[in-house]
Amino acid sequence: MKKVLIVAALLSSKKHKLVDLLSKRFEGKVEFSLESFENFALFIDKDGQLRGYFSGIDIRSFDFVYIRSKTGYSNLAKTVATSLESNKVPYADKALANASYIGNKLTSLARLALGEVPVSQSFFAYKLDNEFSLNLIDKLDLPLIIKDLRSQRMTGIFVVTNKKELFAFIKKNKRKSFIFQKFIDIQNEYRIFVIEGKAVSAHTKTKRDYSTGKLTYLNENEWHEFVDLKSLPKKLITEAEKAANELLLDIAGVDVCIDKSGKIFCLEVNRGPGIDYEDDKPEEIDALVKFFQQKTR
Ligand SMILES: Nc1ncnc2c1ncn2[C@@H]1O[C@H](COP(=O)(O)OP(=O)(O)O)[C@@H](O)[C@H]1O
Ligand SMILES: [Mg+2]
């Protein structure tokens, strides 16, 4: 039997009525069901494959998904659409996946994975206090990086090294939204400034301190240094450019890193490239000046 899923922000009596009406019209030949965004979970495996679930049921088990309303869950709706797109499950409306270029850490991560930009294995669930979420989290390799969806400039990046810490963290933060991500043993991290699809400058990112549970800077007095783009591995540059392109950002600050085994990962793409105006080597400003020169010619 064909299966249709209707996703809504609120499971109101109206939505139930819609499902009932449709079921009746199809005389039980098509199965209609209803889910809320709050039951959504996303898993991105180590190969960048996106897996979406509602109440633990794989989205691939549906023949069609209709995202009915999204009030208050806009970024989740975009992420659901991106995961449907990735799994080739037909859905409505296409506008949602096409709106996923701008949103939050989760929409970006899903979009980057869809575009085959290398990201670390990740898990997100709106609700963590259920067997399905806890089971998946339990299977993730430790240590884990935990990112608050609203985090910026390391304000909400945490690290847990064992199961005890992990489940204590979940218990303490039940009502917040996090991305759980496999820890990357970073050798070098860079911020690549990408303008209109081309890397224009790069600087190192200072080393992080992972020892306290909440990420901080290892040495507050360490400063980033601009590096010659030519001195960086070509693949690092092309992945950064690919990441900015995938998010349709004309001006982007892409955080990329190489781990101890030489693997490249994209950590994050920032729409605000984080230009440091105080710096005495304003390579980023030079690049921006060039950009505006072209635009005003
Ligand atoms: N999976 C990871 N493994 C190891 N370190 C990470 C990982 N993800 C992020 N980090 C570190 O945390 C920093 C902040 O993470 P990021 O996702 O860029 O969030 P923010 O918005 O706070 O900058 C990164 O610059 C990187 O040094
Ligand atoms: Mg960052």
pLDDT digits (tens, 9 = 90+) for 8-53: 998 999 999 999 999 999 998 999 999 999 999 999 999 999 999 9
Which residue, 205, 181, 192, is CA-closest to 243? 192
Give φ, ψ of 121 to 5 degrees.
-50, 130
Ligand 1 touching residue 270 (CB < 6 A)? no
77 and 19 Cβ atoms separated by less than 8 Å? no
Rounded Cα–Cα distance for residues 159 and 87 (Å) = 30
| Cα of 278 from ligand 2 centre, angstroms | 19
Could you tell me if 144 and 181 are in contact, meaning their C-beta atoms sit under 8 angstroms apart?
A: yes
CATH number of 186-206+220-295: 3.30.470.20
What does pLDDT average to over the chain? 93
Domain 1-39+56-100 CATH (choose: 3.60.21.10, 2.60.40.3880, 3.40.50.20, 3.90.1150.10): 3.40.50.20
Domain-wise residue ranges, the chain: 1-39+56-100, 186-206+220-295
Q: Are 189 and 267 in contact (CB under 8 A)?
A: yes
Q: What is the pLDDT of residues 61-100, one digit of tens each?
A: 999 999 998 889 999 999 999 999 999 999 999 999 999 9
Answer yes or no: pTM beyond 0.85.
Answer: yes
pLDDT digits (tens, 9 = 90+) for 256-286: 999 999 999 999 999 987 777 666 567 888 8
| Choice from 268, 269, 270, 271 to test ligand 1 binding pocket (greatest atom count within 8 A of CB) | 268
